[in-house]
Amino acid sequence: MAGAKDTTVLDHSEPGVQRRQMISLIIPVFNEEDSIRLFLEQTSKALDPLGDDLDVEYLFVNDGSRDATERVILACRDDWPQIALVNLSRNFGKEAALSAGLNHARGDAAIPIDVDLQDPPEVIVDMVARWRDGAKVVNARRARRDADTWAKRISAGLFYRLFNALADYPIPTGVGDFRLLDREVVDAICALGERSRFNKALFSWVGFETIEVEYDRPARAAGETQWSYWKLWKLALDGIFAASTTPLRIWTYIGLTMAVGSLLYSAFLFFRTLLFGVDTPGYASTVILILIFGGMNMFALGIIGEYVGRIYTEVRQRPLYIVRSYHQQGVDDAGRGGG
The secondary structure of 297-323 as a DSSP string is: HHHHHHHHHHHHHHHHHHHHT--S-BE
Closest CA to 77 of 337, 329, 331: 329
Average pLDDT in the chain? 75
Determine the average pLDDT of the residues in 134-139: 88
Q: Looking at the predicted structure, is the pLDDT value of residue 25 above 90?
A: yes
Q: Give the per-residue pLDDT at 118.
A: 82
112 forms beta bridges with: 26
Q: Give the per-residue pLDDT at 57.
A: 92
- Per residue in 160-176, pLDDT (tens digit) is 677 666 667 777 777 77
H/E run at residue 26: strand 17-29
- Per residue in 44-97, pLDDT (tens digit) is 888 888 867 788 899 999 988 888 888 999 999 888 898 999 999 888 888 888
- Per residue in 90-118, pLDDT (tens digit) is 888 888 888 899 999 999 999 999 888 88
Report CA Rg, the chain: 25
Calpha distance 142→236 (Å, rounded): 19
9-13, 168-172, 228-232, 252-256: least confidently modelled range: 9-13
- Per residue in 290-317, pLDDT (tens digit) is 666 766 777 777 677 777 776 766 777 7
Q: Give the per-residue pLDDT at 32.
A: 86
Cβ neighbours of residue 117 closer than 8 Å, sequence gap 6 or more: 35, 38, 39, 42, 218, 220, 221, 222
**In the chain, pLDDT over 90 holds for what percent of residues?**
12
CB-CB neighbours of 146 under 10 Å = 11
pLDDT category of residue 40 using cuts at 50, 70 and 90: very high
pLDDT category of residue 229 using cuts at 50, 70 and 90: low
Q: Which amino acid is at 278?
A: V
